[in-house]
Every structure is written in structure tokens, then in C-alpha cells.
A and B are shown apart, each in its own frame.
Chain A
């Protein structure tokens, strides 16, 4: 019996692996041949965004923590790579915008970004460290649920203000442009570089998927779901969820950082706008539409919503906000499992996710458990 189940599991895993490789090959080789260049570029960007939704799904869909501040990590990753690209200059020269504000010396935190290995490390590590610090300070006090959401949102606002206000350090609202800069001697906006970024995005998306898949299966994954479903009980069973929550938040932040970097080089610009409240909430809706608690759902949701947005705002810009608002209402009231969850319901006739991530609990007007002590 046990063995049989194990065998079944292995077979399923194999099918999944084959499916991933097949989809990846199609994305990498067939689609570029069919799609016109402009649409392909869009697809590349959307796939970049799909990576960040994987991160959100990890923290929200599986762990039940709704982060409204993923824009921070996304933008930090983007800024990291953009700073590296900006520094591809003959030695002694400064990026052009500095001279506009009368800055004649490179600020200290720019300096390490001239090294490529450091930049790659920074894209992953800086967002995850920021996430870990924020997460530690918040989770340590058992702040959770909506309080966590609101605090992440406030943190987002603060980062936005900081980046928006520092013209002399980071070029303020204008942000950093990358498409005319060079990476390994190739112009970042050129077709060949864009094609490379597209392929790298696919590789990163698959890596992120495998990482999330690995984290959410097995013991660790069950722990996450336990945190989502009944953190109190988990605590009573002798676990301390704080560490796990910090870890998963940091991983999610790192994923968002990578996504931000890839998105930035494909759009050609990173600005503090990526840290606006609306953008981070929009990320959540991608996951919700696709189906939280399912990794495929996060990817599918992102692609669908972004394409809907592109098409709608090309035809009638006014309708987009109505549509987006309606989408929020619809997903919350009618399709709490998202599209993937709905299809699975139809197909298997039963729910495989027993609870909707962390949402069926009562509100907790109290955040600490001092009274128990």
C-alpha cells in the first residue's frame, strides 16, 4: 500500500517534470518563432512578473501571510541590476544623471555594484535580507493577519518615499534606465540581449517553480500549511513558527528580487513607481485569479491578468479600473480557489485544498498571547 502510493507519487512527479520541460521548450523555442517581436517582449515581461507571483503564492497561498509590500523586494532587485548597468562606463566617469544634481563623487553604496558577481548576489540577498529583517521584527511579536498586511503596506510607502525623494543618490522619480547601457559589451536594449533576457527569464521561472515546489512539498510544506491553517495549534505542538515564517518571507523576497531584475532589463526602466501601493496589491490579484495555493495558478493568473490589462487598456483605458475592481470582487466572492482551483474542483469533484489559505479564521483583535502566560 505504502509502496504503491510512493510509486504513484513518483509517476506523478515524472509526468510533472516532463510537462515542465515540454512547456519550457515551447516557450523558449517555438513561441519566439511565432510571435511578433513586440508581443514576445511583452510575454517576456509577464513571465518575469510570474516569478514574483510564485513568491507571493509561497507566502500567501501556502503560509497564509498576505504581503502587500512585495513591490519593495521587486524594486530592490531591479535597482540592483540597473545600478550595475549604469556603472558600465569608462573609469572615472559617473552615470549621467549625477552631474545634473551636482554630485561629483559616486555614493559609497554604488561602488560594489560595478562588480557583476556582487550584483547577482545583491539581487538575491538584499531583498531577502530586508524581508528577513522586516519579517523578524513583525513575526517576533506574533503580529499576523491583517496587521502584517498593513505593516508591509506601510513599509512599502516608506521605501517609496525614500527612493522617490533621493534624487542625488538614486535619481528619484525618474528612476534608472537600462536599455542604452551595456552588459558584457552588448547593448541591453538590443534584440540579441533582449532575446537572452527572455531565455534567462524562462530558466529563472523554472528554477523558482522548482524551488517553490520543493519547499511546499514534504515536511516543510506541511509546516507552512499548518501555519496558515492553525498557527496556535502548531505552537502548542512545540514548534516555533517565527523562524519558518521569517525564512519563507525571505525566500519570497529573494524570488521577487530576481523577478524585479529580469523585469527591469526587459522594460528598460526601474522607477519608484514599482513601489506604489497599487502595484503590490495587483500582484496579489494575479495569484488570486490563478488560484492561491497552486503554483501553476500563480503563473497562469499573472499571464491572464496582464494580457487582459494590455488588451483592455489598448482598446478603452477607462474600463480597466472597473474591470480590475470587478476582478477583485469576483475572485473573493465567487472563485476563492481561482481558475486552477475551479477547474480542479470540476475535474475531481472535490476540494484538494481543505481550507482557503488562512482566511476562515476569526479576526483576532489581539496580537500577543500574554494573557495565556
Chain B
């Protein structure tokens, strides 16, 4: 009995990590129809933010270090949300209604972000600063000219390439000067170590077993995020606008909702949740440039199985996939099936962490045969637009 309870707890804790990662994706995908393959990299940014916050607080003394996670969570949210906002304003805005192109563009962004954390150093950061100053400063000055509309066709590319050239020149100059403080990568390709505070390293004893406190923390965090998201979408002014735009963009625009603002906000919210998820996974594993890649496919599957635009579906799907994966991968089912050939040898063959994924995927495909639109499909005419 206890073993079964433990199994369910483990399943739920795997599921809650999945859910945490999928929540932001479900919002962005469900409400905006945007496939964001850089979602995993936004998680990674959240994780790196946690690393930075932790190192800053380490300098302040032990009592600060014990509570770093509570500072890291909002910081990770803000950094990822900001990155998401830039991504939306810079790229995705131009690609609404073209989901496959969004998919490719966000994959490009994810490649760039991965390499960025590997090689970012003082000189590259300064180069980016120089570019932003020159480009946006130049735009600001030129915008005030009378003939802006006329010259903008060639002015924007000119300023853009000039400032880019300046920025790259600056980077090369700094690199050639050989100042080690500027050319040393901040994070480098190595994984960085995020050590949980002592109270999250242990666990609650329960009979022979011990329930990891980090797992409990993540489950509670997931619950809080769910409640927060629900409240925001259904009880707040902005949530109302978001839902309105989702249901009927044109009508909302006619009624005075600034749809582009709403888009930006929704995307930032989804990205921020990815940041929180990134912060949470630092409690479980290490942080590296490839952290996000471990999650991305699984989380998309969760969203697809759950049905788009439906938080409840996402929850059920995440928990279901998590539990299944655990039950098969840990061979919990084998003792119950002793003697029942061929099932015993079947579950024995697939009873490793790598092989359980094969079964889970087969089950998902089978499930989609019955319910092709996911667990809780949206009803209504909007669905076939």
C-alpha cells in the first residue's frame, strides 16, 4: 500500500515538473497559437538567473543564502518575461498566423540563445550595448525628422548595418586587446552548479521512505503558479482582455482592446512561467546550455495531449504522462504481473528509463486515435477558422 502511495507521489512529482514546464507553453500555444521552440531556452535563462542570484546572495552571508530561492523566483520570472517580450516584439509579431514559420524562427532563436550563454563575455555584452545605443538612438533622432516616412525605407537598413558593423568592430577590438576580464566567458560551456539551500536538500521521513523536500517544494510551486495563472486569466482586467482577443481578435480590436499589447503581455506571461520552471528544475539537476533541450519535446506532447487552450487538459495530461512514465520505467508494474506472460517480460523489456518513453509515445498515438483534439477539445465555431 505504502509502495503504491510512494509510486503515485513519484508520478505526481515527475508530472508536476512537466506541468511547470508546459504551463507557459500551454498559455502561449493555446491562447496565441504560437509554437515556441525557444521555450526550453527561456527555462534555461531562468535557471541561469537563479545561478546568478545565488552567487550574489552567497556574498551577503548564510542567512541570505538560505532564502535565495524566494528572490530567484521573481528574478527568473522577470528575466524570462523580458526575454520573451523582446522575442515577441522582435520576431514573432511578424509571424502571427504562420505557425510553421514561427516554429522555425523560434528554433533559430533557441540555437542563438544556447550559444549565447556559452560564449557571452564582457566584450560581447558591450558590443550588444553599443549596437542598441547606436541603432535605437539613431532611430529616435531620425524619427523626429519631418521626412521620416520617406527616408525610412533606406534609413533603417543603413543605421542597422552601420551600428552592427560598429558593434562587431568594437567586439573585435576588445578581443584583440586581450583584456582577460572582458574576454573570459561569464558562464562558459560548462554546467554551472546551483546548490539548493540546506532546507531543500533533505527530505521528510515517511516510514522507510523519505520524501524529497525539493519535490514537495516543486509541487507546491506548481500549484501556486496554477492558481496564479487561473486568477490572472479569469479574474483580472488584463486576463479578460487576453481571453477576449483569443476568442475574437477583430471584435476585440473594434471594442478598443489594444491587441498588440495583449499579445506582448500574453507572451511575456508564458515566458515568465518558463523562467519560474527553469528556477524550479535547478533543484533537481544541473544547469547548462542544453538544459532546455531536455524538456522541450515532452512539454509539447503534454500540450498536444491535453488539448489546446485548456489548463485542465494540460494538468491531466502532465500528471498522466508523468505517472505512466514512472510506473513503466521503474518496473513498479512487474511484481504485480509475475507469471502473467507475455506481459511480465514485456514490461521487463521496457522497464528502463529510456525504453519507457517508447511505450508512452505509443500510448499517446493510440490516445490521439480516439481523441484527436486532445483530452478537452474546444467547442464552438471558432475552432475551425
Task: List chain A positions with a Cβ less than 8 A from chain B.
Answer: 66, 137-138, 140-143, 145-147, 149-151, 153-155, 157-158, 161-162, 164-165, 232, 277, 281, 284-285, 288, 318, 321-322, 324-329, 331-333, 336, 356, 358-369, 371-372
Report the bound CA distance from A165 to B350 in whole Å.
Answer: 10
Report the bound CA distance from A356 to B94 in whole Å.
Answer: 15
Report the bound CA distance from A371 to B101 in whole Å.
Answer: 28
User: Per a CB cutoff under 8 Å, which of B97, B372, B385 touches A368?
Assistant: B372
8 new A-B contacts, CB < 8 A, other than A165-B355, A328-B111, A365-B308, are: A154-B301, A157-B357, A281-B104, A284-B104, A321-B111, A361-B97, A363-B99, A366-B383
A318-B115, A332-B95 known; A161 vs B358 contact (CB < 8 Å) = yes
Report the bound CA distance from A137 to B100 in whole Å.
Answer: 21
Interface string of B367-385 (1 = CB under 8 A from A): 0110011000111111111
Interface string of B89-120 (1 = CB under 8 A from A): 00100110111110111011111101110110
Closest-CB distance, B243 to chain A (whole angstroms): 14
Most buried by B among A143, A318, A366, A371: A366
A371-B383, A371-B384 known; A328 vs B33 contact (CB < 8 Å) = no
Show 9 A/B contacts (Cβ-Cβ < 8 Å), sorted by A: A137-B368, A150-B304, A162-B358, A288-B104, A325-B111, A328-B105, A332-B108, A359-B101, A365-B30
Report the bound CA distance from A351 to B94 in whole Å.
Answer: 21
Q: For residues 329 through 369 of chain B, which have their beta carbon under 8 Å from a beta carbon of chain A?
A: 352, 354-355, 357-358, 361-362, 364-365, 368-369
- Please state if A359 and B119 are interface contacts (CB–CB under 8 Å): no
- Please state if B100 and A66 are interface contacts (CB–CB under 8 Å): yes
- Please state if B108 and A328 are interface contacts (CB–CB under 8 Å): yes
Chain A residues with CB under 8 A of B355? 161-162, 165
B279 interfacial by beta-carbon distance below 8 Å: no
Chain B residues with CB under 8 A of A154? 297, 300-301, 361, 364
Chain B residues with CB under 8 A of A365? 30, 33, 308-309, 378, 382-383
> Top 5 nearest A-B pairs by Cβ distance?
A328-B108, A363-B33, A366-B383, A141-B372, A325-B112
Most buried by A among B33, B101, B300, B368: B101
Chain B residues with CB under 8 A of A336? 101
Interface string of B33-50 (1 = CB under 8 A from A): 101000000000000000
Residue of B nearest to A284 (CB): B104
- Please state if B33 and A371 are interface contacts (CB–CB under 8 Å): no
- Please state if A329 and B108 are interface contacts (CB–CB under 8 Å): yes
A151-B304, A153-B297, A333-B91 known; A359 vs B354 contact (CB < 8 Å) = no
A147-B304, A285-B104, A328-B105 known; A322 vs B112 contact (CB < 8 Å) = yes
Chain B residues with CB under 8 A of A232? 384
Interface string of B113-157 (1 = CB under 8 A from A): 011101100000000000000000000000000000000000000
- Please state if A326 and B108 are interface contacts (CB–CB under 8 Å): yes
Closest-CB distance, B198 to chain A (whole angstroms): 36
Most buried by A among B308, B364, B381: B308
Report the bound CA distance from A13 to B109 in whole Å.
Answer: 41
Report the bound CA distance from A281 to B107 in whole Å.
Answer: 8
Report the bound CA distance from A121 to B351 in whole Å.
Answer: 33
Most buried by A among B94, B103, B369, B380: B103
- Please state if A363 and B97 are interface contacts (CB–CB under 8 Å): yes
- Please state if A150 and B300 are interface contacts (CB–CB under 8 Å): yes
Closest-CB distance, B318 to chain A (whole angstroms): 15
Chain B residues with CB under 8 A of A363? 33, 97, 99
Report the bound CA distance from A358 to B373 in whole Å.
Answer: 20
- Please state if A149 and B373 are interface contacts (CB–CB under 8 Å): no
Most buried by B among A284, A331, A359: A359
